[in-house]
Amino acid sequence: MALIRQALGLTEAFASWPAPLLDRLLPMSRLGRHPRGALVHSEAEAEPEILTVVSGHLMVSRVNIDGSRASISVLGPGLVIGIPRGMNPDDEALYDYRANDDAVVVHVPARIVFQTLDSEAFLWKTMAHMLLKQHRQMLTTVVDQLAGNLRRRLAATIDRLAQIYGVDSRQMSLRLRLSQDDLAAMLQVSRGALNREIRMFEEQGLIRAEYGTLIVLDLPSLRKLAGSVEELGQDEEQA
Distances (CA, A) of 194 to 9, 65, 174: 40, 26, 20
Determine the pLDDT at residue 226. 85
| pLDDT tens sequence for the chain (239 residues) | 888 999 999 998 898 899 999 999 999 999 999 999 999 999 988 889 999 999 999 999 988 888 888 888 888 888 899 888 888 877 778 899 999 989 999 999 999 999 999 998 899 988 888 888 877 777 777 777 777 789 989 999 988 888 887 665 555 567 777 888 888 888 888 999 999 999 999 999 999 888 878 888 898 899 898 875 343 333 433 43
Determine the pLDDT at residue 23. 93
Distances (CA, A) of 170 to 163, 166, 174, 198: 13, 12, 10, 22
Cβ–Cβ contacts within 10 Å for residue 54, how many? 21
Which residue(s) pair with 96 in the sheet? 42, 61
E-strand ranges in the chain read: 30-34, 39-42, 49-55, 58-63, 69-75, 80-81, 94-99, 103-109, 174-177, 207-210, 213-216
Determine the pLDDT at residue 98. 94
Determine the pLDDT at residue 167. 60
Segments of the chain assigned to CATH 1.10.10.10: 149-226
pTM for this predicted structure: 0.78
Distance CA 104, CA 55 (A): 5
DSSP state of 24: H
CATH number corresponding to 2-143: 2.60.120.10
Q: Which CATH class is domain 149-226?
A: mainly alpha
Residue 35: how many CA atoms within 13 Å on its side-chain side?
Answer: 0
Determine the pLDDT at residue 173. 67
Segments of the chain assigned to CATH 2.60.120.10: 2-143
